[in-house]
Amino acid sequence: MNLHEYQGKELFARFGLPVLPGQVATAADEARDIAASIGGTVVIKAQVQVGGRGKAGGVKLAHSPDEAFEKARDILALTIKGQPVRTVLVTQAADIARELYLSIVLDRSRKLPLIMLSAEGGVDIEEVARVAPGKILRRSIPLSGLRPYQARALFQPLLRDGRQVAQAAEILLKLHRVFTEGDCSLAEINPLAITPEGRVLALDAKVILDDNAEFRHREWATWRDPDEETPGQRLAREKGLSYVRLEGDIGCIVNGAGLAMATMDLIKHYGGEPANFLDIGGSSNPEKVTAALRIITGDSRSAPAGGVPGPSSRVRAILFNIFGGITRCDDVANGIVQSLRTSPLAVPLVIRLTGTNEDLARKILSDHGLSATTSMDEGVRTVIAKAQEVAA
């Protein structure tokens, strides 16, 4: 789960990191009230999880509560890289003398947390990494943890002032606690700002949480942003399906993540465009099959009133690709038959299944006027042809 900046700052504050006071608003007059209570100059920041929001006009200074109202109104009307701005963070403004970059990420191959530090803060760090990788300092945090002297040593070459070094080192130690105790896969401060008076502050927060650790963090449920999910994504999460929407017109329902990716690739290979990634997992109960079909055809019955329209009215044909190992093909066939009985499909369906109880599955399907292929290549080619017929 990716956190919004304001949520990341909440997490930072809990671990004692220096963040400036602020609150979120979903309407311009709320922003005015918050600005008035903070006093002085404030920054209004769009809470969207895309990079480059500053350049897109999503971050503005306001010198008075009335100006905060205007700026918040403008920002709340924006859509940044396809994401409508629904929330803004109104926070105290800071004078900035210098900006650094500081983050902790998981180093998958060394199996240790990795500190990334750069004197070039406030900019797109991926760009720095690409253009001038030498400007990013990388240090693994050993299993035994991070010692204060090690944290100080990292900052000494960058910040000569001893008091600034001490503050920055303290921030790094706390950020490490956020990373480990908070079960993060990324904890980033960009910029880590130095004020003209020499205070060191976390002016932004980007946090990615390890979804697998949700069972020991009750508070995470309150951070989930329902507005960030389409009805399809929500249904997928509730039913325990992995679903990613893509832009093509061929829906695919597959058991297993690797096979699902390979199926998308094969659709592309034979000249089609996949509409989604969808893994129905090892289980093959009819309910999951029905949910999967509903997600792909964009049936938004489970969506709240006024919800985003279903994701995929563009889908022209659907492929089931099932390799029955532990999953039994006859279970999936039953699921398909039951699902079609309750909600018939408006688009052609191509079924590929092979493996455990394949013959039984074929019989169930043929009793209901359906057929299935055994070859993945053939299934993919057929579904592409069907989609083209529909398009024509």
Partner 1 sequence: MSILVDKSTRLAVQGITGRDGSFHTEQMLAYGTRVVAGVTPGKGGEKVHGVPVFDSVAEAVAVTRANTSVIYVPAPFATDAVFEAADAGIGVIVCITEGVPVRDTLAACHHVAALRERAAANGAPNPGRPRLIGPNCPGLISPGLSKVGILPGHICKSGPVGVVSRSGTLTYEVVHQLTRAGLGQSTCLGIGGDPVIGTHFIDALAMFEADPQTEAMVLIGEIGGSDEEDAAQFIRKHLRKPVVAFIAGQTAPPGQRMGHAGAIISGGSGTAAEKMAAFEAAGVPVARIPSEISALIGEVLERRRVRLKRVSSQPSTKRLTRGTPPAGARKRATKPRGRAVRTRAAKPAPRGAAAGTRARARRSR
Active site amino acids: 101, 188
3-class DSSP assignment, residue 245: strand
Among 82, 197, 212, 221, binds partner 1 (CB under 8 A): 212
Provide the 8-state DSSP code for 122.
S
Where does this chain touch partner 1 (CB under 8 A) — which range of 102-110, 162-170, 308-316, 358-366? Answer: 102-110
Q: Which of 50, 153 has the CB closer to partner 1?
A: 50
**Cβ 151 to partner 1, closest distance in Å?**
20
Size of the site for partner 1 (CB under 8 A): 50
| Pairing state between β 349-355 and 372-373 | parallel
**Cβ 85 to partner 1, closest distance in Å?**
19
Report CA dihedral (70, 72, 75, 76) to the nearest 10 degrees: -120
Where does this chain touch partner 1 (CB under 8 A) — which range of 18-26, 133-141, 210-218, 222-230? Answer: 210-218
61 pairs with which residues across the strands?
Answer: 43
186 pairs with which residues across the strands?
Answer: 105, 208
**What is the number of other CB atoms lying within 10 angstroms of the CB of residue 286?**
18
Q: To 5 degrees, how large is the angle CA 42–CA 45–CA 48?
A: 165
Tell me if 132 contacts partner 1 by CB under 8 A: no
Where does this chain touch partner 1 (CB under 8 A) — which range of 3-11, 90-98, 101-109, 168-176? Answer: 101-109
Q: Which of 121, 256 has the CB closer to partner 1?
A: 256
Phi, psi of 142 (to 5 degrees): -65, 165
The strand ranges marked E within 47-128 are 59-62, 79-80, 83-84, 88-92, 98-107, 112-118
Among 82, 109, 222, 369, binds partner 1 (CB under 8 A): 109
- What distance in Å separates the CA atoms of residue 155 and residue 159, rounded to the nearest whole number? 6
**Cβ 87 to partner 1, closest distance in Å?**
21
Applying CB under 8 A, the residues found at the interface with partner 1 are 106, 108-109, 111-112, 126, 129-130, 143, 180, 183, 185, 210-213, 215-216, 242, 244, 246, 254-262, 264-269, 274, 277, 279, 282, 323-327, 354-356, 376-377
